[in-house]
Structure 1
Amino acid sequence: MAEDRRGQRPSRGGAGAGRAGGSGGRGDDSRGGSRSSGGRSSSSSDSRGRGGRDDAPRGKGGAARSGGYQGGKKQAGAQDRPHRDRRDDKVRTVDQAVYDGPDLPEDITGAELDRGVRAQLKGLPEKLAARVARHLAAAGMLIDEDPEKAYQHTLAARARASRIAVVREAAGEAAYAAGHYAEALSELRAAKRMNGATDYLPIMADCHRALGNPEQAIKLAKSPSVANFASEAKAEMTLVEAGARRDMGQIDAALRTLELAPLTSKSRSSWVVRLRYAYADALEAAGRESDALAWFHRTHAIDSDEITDAAARADLLERRQS
């Protein structure tokens, strides 16, 4: 997010471009947010894309002729040259750049994607499917080290296949990774309309937070489908809901939200680490430093991959109290 929300960012766990062999599963980010997979894409009717087309987009200004033919007869003095609207040329140039996308590494074939992702592309013409797959695979490989370029790859995929749910999902996840929250929200809504999946709800809720709409984030957190989420997905939504409560100045409500989560789970998974960290952080914000210190220590005890700075936070509190 725009600010440092340690332990509060949801993971990108959809079926988008990040599910590329050898790079789809990703480690947890340094801020305590586990990051799995992602890719990018964009909307079907957006002026930057030409969804579902195997040919490059064409400009609008090349056919009209200035002083040309009227009624089959050429006017005197008319020059036989095309009239070009510079604004149309500019739009076409931008369209073409998005459609082309970043250069594709020669060693990326598209076979890196999960079988399920490739299966969703089978309805496209063979060459088109291969190009889209390569852009999605490239996005998945770049999403952590260069999320903006990953996003550009998914825009190129969307320009060619905007009606494929996995392409829109990839676009949303990559937009989220790059900090384009409005675009991420739009793309994930489109994917959800196409396939009915609810996996995106935590990321969508976090996008609402980033856009200054914590009330909408809480509304999504209360969606009936959340009750059927697996433990990790529930934890992701809990983190976002608690963060939204804090955005609204409701620190006690944030603590109650986190206290309903399995903070004492015996699991050492990253989602438990992040829940404990968020709880410790909220306790400190509430002025309960002794309790916060205890929970920072409990977080560090299971944080073998050091995805949070719980040890450092505990050390600071201990020095403050001594």
Structure 2
Amino acid sequence: MPAHLTTRSLGKEAFAELKTLNKENAEWVALHLAAAAEILPEDPELAHRHALAAARRGGRVAVVRETLAITAYETGDFALALRELRTYRRISGHNDQLPLMVDSERGVGRPDRALELGRSVDRTTLPASVQVGLAIAMSGARLDLEQPELALAELEIPQLDRNRAFSYSPALFAAYAEVLGELGRGAEAAEWLVLAERAADALEGPAEAEIFEVIELEELELETEDELETEDELETEDGLETEDEDEVELEIEDDDAAPAEADDADAPAGDEASVPEAEAAEDGDADLVEAAPEDAIEPEVAAILEETAGLDDDAADEAR
């Protein structure tokens, strides 16, 4: 456990979800969730062990299940990620991790199921950033099925705006460039890659500006002045206020998303409740278990197993 971490290292919104736990367990879970979020980019395996540790005492909390799913995804365990994401979705009622669910279906070799899952939700009900993530995942599933034309169509959404950059724009532009390359449209692919790089550079600027202009290369500027004026008018008429609510500044996303990505193991019957102890024992990671004596862990695990016994059947039915 990193020495500098405290319970305050976890975001307020995520920590608020832990109020259903007693003080000791809430602090235990908060520390491990904060550690998982901080360590994830550099060491996904260690972050996953922290998520498993948090799940031992907080398996009924949505943010814990979410964190376990995310760390499992990052370690390549797509089956566990998918199962935990389904449980997170049931507990929270949120669709914000739908893109990760779709991508996890791809990870277990079911691109058809991924497309079906992505179409099961009305995209207009999702935040702009989630819509973009879903479009990218759906496009990847189309590529898995060797359908590059349809993959390109999946990415042609309102957020694919070459004149403005939001937090989701670099990934969207890069995905669009990749599909154009698959279609043999190399010149266009190179152009969108340039735009992706410029969007990323623009987003490294002052966090106060929620909209960043993407400067196009001079040699790529093919639009007339009249066309540019028309685009500016349309931009104003569309109403930037609606987009502003969905745009997320990079610094804000980094501060809030990482802790919130803590979600985990109220694992389906038998598997996930037992996995944390087995994994901790195999790794010899005394730090992760020293604060959880057996007499404290076993009753919690037993309770989780009883509560989630039915969830596995539900998940199995969904998988079928």
State the TM-score, normalizing by the size of structure 1: 0.60
Partners of 1:258 and 1:264 in 2: CA distance? 11
- One-letter amino acid matched to 1:224: V
1:1-322 superposed matches below 5 A: 104-304=1-201
Deviations 1:264-309 (A, max 9, x none): 25332242222222112111111122322332333333231799xx
Instruction: Name the larger-Rg structure.
Output: 1
- One-letter amino acid matched to 1:182: A
- One-letter amino acid matched to 2:115: I
The number of residues matched between the two structures is 205
Q: Quick check: 2:165–2:202 contact (8 Å CA) kept in 1?
A: no
Partners of 2:38 and 2:105 in 1: CA distance? 27
Local SS of the residue matching 2:5: coil
Local SS of the residue matching 1:209: helix
Partners of 2:73 and 2:202 in 1: CA distance? 24
**Over the residues paired in the alignment, what is the CA RMSD in angstroms?**
2.1
Q: Quick check: 2:162–2:195 contact (8 Å CA) kept in 1?
A: no
Partners of 2:191 and 2:6 in 1: CA distance? 50
Partners of 2:70 and 2:168 in 1: CA distance? 19
Q: Quick check: 2:72–2:80 contact (8 Å CA) kept in 1?
A: yes
Please report how far the alpha carbon of residue 193 of structure 1 lies from its aligned counterpart in structure 2 after TM superposition: 0.9
Poorly superposed stretches of 4+, deviation over 4 Å: none
Structure 2 gaps, min length 5: 205-320
- One-letter amino acid matched to 2:196: T
Judged with a 3 Å threshold, the aligned counterparts in structure 2 of structure 1 residues 279 and 107 are, in CA distance, closer, same or farther, namely closer
Please report how far the alpha carbon of residue 105 of structure 1 lies from its aligned counterpart in structure 2 after TM superposition: 3.1
Partners of 1:265 and 1:294 in 2: CA distance? 10
Q: Quick check: 1:151–1:171 contact (8 Å CA) kept in 2?
A: yes
Judged with a 3 Å threshold, the aligned counterparts in structure 2 of structure 1 residues 139 and 215 are, in CA distance, closer, same or farther, namely same
* Higher share in helix: 2
Local SS of the residue matching 2:201: coil
- One-letter amino acid matched to 1:123: T
Structure 1 gaps, min length 5: 1-103, 308-322
- One-letter amino acid matched to 1:287: G
